[in-house]
Structures are given as structure tokens and as C-alpha cells.
Amino acid sequence: METTSKKSFITGEIMKSSILEAFRKLNPVNMVKNPVLFVVEIGFILVLLLAIFPNMMGDDNGGHLRLYNAIVAVILLVTILFANFAESIAEGRGKAQVQTLKKTNTVTEARVLLSDGTQVMKQANELIKGDIVIVQAGEVIPNDGEVIEGIATVDESAITGESAPVVKERGGDFSSVTGGTTVTSDWLKIEITSLPGESFLDKMIALIEGASRKKTPNEIALNTLLVSLTIIFLLVVVTLYPMTTYLNVDIPVATLIALIVCLIPTTIGGLLSAIGIAGMDRVTQFNVIAMSGRAVEACGDVDTLILDKTGTITYGNRLASEFSPVLGVDKKELIRAAWLSSLTDDTPEGKSILSLAIKLNVDAADEKKIIKTSDPISFTAQTRMSGLDMQNGTKIRKGAYDSIKNRSVAAGHALPKDLEGLVHQVSSLGGTPLVVTENDNILGVIYLKDVVKPGLKERFELLRAMGIKTIMCTGDNPLTAATIAKEAGVDGFIAESKPEDKINVIKEEQAQGKIVAMTGDGTNDAPALAQANVGLAMNSGTNAAKEAANMVDLDSNPTKIIEVVEIGKQLLMTRGALTTFSIANDVAKYFAIIPAMLMVAVPEMGALNVMQLNSPTSAIISALIFNAIIIPLLIPIAMKGVKYKPMSASKLLSRNLLVYGLGGIIAPFIGIKFIDLIIGPILRMMGL
């Protein structure tokens, strides 16, 4: 992620395309989608007509107003262009990434394996689901699929941005491959799982382009508020014109339009769409693909976080740390049995048991012969044990305490008196105990150590400060789960968790009105990912998990859900902060526009001219210019987001009101006064 975070905020190419796009967006068909700016565009057209035909409103002094109307029209046009530019910048960053991905999404040839064993070459766009292809070192994987044979390293940098190749093999969490990535060593036999045009890369391109981006519920609600404020101010100003005419107060139409533009929330209206697009872009820059803006926004409202223990809270690769024999059993006998039980175990745990046994000088001379003549017993969720049946009739097993205990008792063996103590000792240390037997006679316990990732406890404390509850799900026994939960600092845990347990806890939290997020990578996680408000699937996981989730992590880092929640929070903070700033701006601009409009006809209004501006014309134009330039000045904040600080909702509201509310009131006084000092003398020279 360090590489992505260093990407420049805006490039020359993005700047050029955004300027051109800002003019294209002037089309009323496009502008009507943003009612606030559409009102500004209508105002621009009216003032432009008045500049061209100054007498069309019956003004006797129409010629004198031509220049004033022209200046107002230009400022209104610039205001719209700045707002369009903000949105175009946000879209441009996404389009730049799309161009990179499209270069990857080239048509390649695939070596298809037929049922009779022969191979034929096909174009990748001719492949169908179920086709079996063979991809060798240096070749591009033609489409999404699952590895069914072979083991190889795959360069996924075109998708993830990470240069280190990823090992792909059949089974486990790393069997899924993505079209457009490159095999860098060995070979893979892959079963194609998606149709042409429906690959993960195709979906990424469509999502990042934002062509199908829909406004989120919060965005729609805020847009409704802005439209309501616009209608209210529009009605106020429209009724103001006949009232001032009746009182013989001559107010130019351009001034009334300027009043509307300055009072309606043009700032947030111009930035609202850019904030939403930038929110999705920040997630994308973080190597997470969000299926919709709703998913990103939901992250900001998360109340409960469901986390797997293995690979998320702990490193996941539990390593054998110690062999503890029961009373009456020689330690060498236990080590030999543990070594035998793991000869055909390809899991990281099994390999670590072999490594530790060899380190402790186990007799491994007959390894190949034993493997060749024995029947391997694979681990299953039902038996919860594995091992092998040797040619001489010896049965070696290692597995969960409860399963081994029940098997041993059923075979008529008495349980060692110190067995439960050894198991409890390992569990109390946060480890996983594996009990080893020979012909159902218990020999001792293997201590598998599971290490909590550093810094997670502090992260969970920050989440707690934001009011987010964390729940750990694990298949471990309650004692082990409690130990890990305490060390990690989560708020709750579910031990001996099954797929349905995750769904149940999500439903229970949602029944209380809470927004729930969770991560997953396996097919058994798919139902829970679909049920959660925010489901983050790992790119290395199964296609079922990726289809069920509404976010996919290209780096396959389960802990990233914490950062994704923070990005969602930042999106809401940014929108709230800039909305507060915009409305505060409008309040402050009253003191520039209203006194300037009326103090010539009503001298007593001069008391409200607290900024002591040069003239009514100077005040109005200064306010309009400030109203226009504040939009591009806020683009960096809209794009990068308000600096994220974990805090409760009440503290966040207080901070926004203090920093952005107060700042939004003060900024116009300083900005308008500064602009007035510059343009006041110029306007006097022009006779305005």
C-alpha cells in the first residue's frame, strides 16, 4: 500500500482532461442532475442575456448595466466550471486507473485441454465456463478460474500493484486466479469460472469508471436538503423583486441573481458528487474494489465488526512449539508419533510439526518407505483429526482434544490423569492443543502457537472509541478463544464457530438496528458476507465469496477491513465538514450582499455593512468571486478527505461545528474583504 499512497494527487493529463470535461458538463441535460448548480446555470443564462440585451427588463439605465451584467455572468460561468472541474478531477483519477487496467485486459491465447487429453489453442474471448486450460511460466492467465492441478507463482501486480509473486495451488485460500495476471514459474491447470466480459478485471474496469455509480441514501438525503434550501432562497429572492419595486428601490436583476447564487449552498452542491466519487477512489487506491458507493458509505456507519481469528487477528500459521508427553510416556516416543502423524499433512501446522520433530532429532530414515506403504487419513470437519494407518497395523492420529478423547474412551483406554491439565495449560497460553495417539492410546500433546498480530489491540481500542464493537469468530475451543480475545482486546468472541454462527450473530446485531461488517474468503463465508451490510472478500478467496461480498480486497489482507471502515468514516466526516462549512459560508455572505443591495435606498442598512466594503457593486462582485474560488480551494479536501481522527459522534459534531462551522463564518469576512480591497479601485476606474 505504500506505493499506492504515493500516487500524485493530480497529473497534467488529468488536469487537461478535467478542464475539457468541465466545459462538456455545461450541457443542461447534465446540469439538471445537480439542481443547485442548475439554478446557477439558469442565472448565468439570464444575466448573459441582460448583458447582451440590457434593456430587455425595461431598465432605463440598461446601457450602464451592460458591463456589470457581463462581469456577473462571467463569474457565474466560472462558478459552474469550477464545480464541474471538481467532479471531473474525481472522475479523472478513476479513468486513469481504468486505462492502466485496460492495457492489462488484452486478448490472449489459451491452451485448452480437451477430454481426450489433446490440447488446442483458443482466443481467451472464446473460452466458456468449465473449460480446462494449462498456463505455463511466462504466459498470461486468460480468464478467471480455479487451480485444479499444479503449483506456481503468479504475478498479480497488474491487479494489486504488489510486485511480489503469489503462490497459487489447488485447495485452500489461494486457489483462485484472475484473468490478466501472469504465471512466473512452473505451470497451472485451471478450470475457467467466468464468461468473456464477466471476469473480475472487467468488473473492476466498469466499477472504477463509475459509469453505473448511483447516489447513496445519505447523498440523496443531503441532496434533498440542498434542493429544499435552494427552493426556499429562490422563493425569497423572487418575492423580493416586486417588493423592492413597490418601494421604489431599484435593484438590478443581476444583483438578485447574485444574491440567489451566494445564498444557496453552491459550495457543497459543487463538491457533493466529487466527495462521493473520491470516497470510492480512496478505497480503490487502497487496493479495495467497492461494488457500489453504498458499500463505502455503509463502512462509515458500521457499529459491529465481525472478524475471523485466523489470519486476521492472529497470523494464522500456527506453528508447533513444544511436545508434552503424558505421564509414563517417553518424549521421544511422542515426537516419533507426532512426526508420523504429519508425514502426509501438507498444512502449515503439519509442516511445522515435521520441522520441530526433525530439529529434536527424530529418526526420519524410513520416511519415504512409510509414506509409500501407509494409508493417509485426512482431516475432516466431522472427525477433527488426521494421521495415517501403517502397513504393520499401527494407527497414528493427532487431533482436537474432544475428538481424540472420545475415540480413545470408545476404544476402551483410560485417559491419562495429567492430559486435561496439559490441554488446559496450552489453551491458557492462547495456543491450540493437538492430542497424539498410537492405536488410540494417548501419548501426549502438541502445542501449536498462534500469535496475535502486533498493534491490533491499539486499533481495537480506537474502534471502541468510535463506538464500534468487535466480535471474533474462531473454531477454537472456548478457553483458547477467551485467551486470544483477551490478548487481542476484542469486545466479544464466538468459539467453535460454524458458518451458520456468523450469520446468526450478524442477524442478531442487525435486529438491534446496527450496521455490521465482516471479512471472509471461503465458500462457507459467502452466506455471511451476503448478509452483512459490508462484506469484504479476499481476492485470493473463492469466487463464491467474491460474488457474495460488496467489496473485494485485492491484497487479500483480512485486517484491511479496519482501514476500510476508517475510510468510510472519513467519507462521512468529509461530507459533514464541508456541508457545515458551506452553510456557514452562506450565513456570512448575508453581511456582504444584503447591506450592499439596500443601503443606497435605505441608508440605515449601512449599519449592517460590518466589513466596510468599497461600494454596493464591489461588495456583490467580491462575494460572487469568493463564492466561485472557494470551490477549487476545497477540492484537495474533498479529494483527500478531512484528516481522520477516531472519536465519538458527539465529539465529531462538536469538532465540525467548531472548526468548519466557525471557519466557514470567518473565511468569507476575510476573503470578501481582501477581494474588495483589490477590485474596489478597479471598479471605480470602470465607473461601477
Cell of 187: 505451470
State yes or no: 160 annotated in a binding site.
Answer: no
State yes or no: 398 annotated in a binding site.
Answer: yes
Task: Give the sheet arrangement for strand 516-520, strand by strand.
Answer: 288-290, 551-553, 534-538, 516-520, 304-308, 469-473, 492-494
CB 516 within 8 A of CB 306: yes
Helix (H, G, I), strand (E, B) or coil at 497: coil
β-pairing, 187-192 vs 132-136, is antiparallel
State yes or no: 384 annotated in a binding site.
Answer: yes
Cell of 181: 495476471
Cell of 51: 448583458
Nearest CA among 387, 385, 368 for reference residue 377: 387
State yes or no: 525 annotated in a binding site.
Answer: yes
State yes or no: 349 annotated in a binding site.
Answer: yes
The CA distance from 40 to 81, in Å, is 11
CB 526 within 8 A of CB 507: no
State yes or no: 382 annotated in a binding site.
Answer: yes
The CA distance from 264 to 261, in Å, is 6
State yes or no: 381 annotated in a binding site.
Answer: yes
Q: What are phi and psi of 590, to 5 degrees?
A: -55, -45
State yes or no: 380 annotated in a binding site.
Answer: yes
DSSP state of 602: -
**Residue 29 amino acid letter:** V
Cell of 450: 498462534
The CA distance from 307 to 470, in Å, is 7
Cell of 294: 453504498
State yes or no: 383 annotated in a binding site.
Answer: yes
The CA distance from 572 to 568, in Å, is 7
Q: Name, in order, each residue with C-beta under 8 angstroms of 169's C-beta and a sequence gap of 6 or more.
A: 147, 150, 151, 152, 175
Beta-strand ranges (E) seen in 368-482 are 375-377, 385-389, 395-399, 432-438, 441-449, 469-473
Among residues 202, 308, 555, 676, which one is catalytic?
A: 308
The CA distance from 88 to 295, in Å, is 22
DSSP labels, 350-361: HHHHHHHHHHTT
CB 143 within 8 A of CB 127: yes
Q: Name, in order, each residue with C-beta under 8 angstroms of 427's C-beta and a sequence gap of 6 or more.
A: 433, 477, 479, 480, 483
Q: Name, in order, each residue with C-beta under 8 angstroms of 564's C-beta and a sequence gap of 6 or more.
A: 283, 286, 288, 299, 517, 534, 536, 551, 553
State yes or no: 342 annotated in a binding site.
Answer: no
> For helices 560-598 and 616-640, what crossing angle results, to 10°?
180
- The distance in angstroms from the start CA to the end CA of the chain is 55
Q: Is 303 considered catalytic here?
A: no
Residues making up the annotated binding site for ATP are 345, 349, 379-386, 398
Residues making up the annotated binding site are 345, 349, 379-386, 398, 521, 525
Residues making up the annotated binding site for Mg(2+) are 521, 525
- The residues carrying an active-site annotation are 308
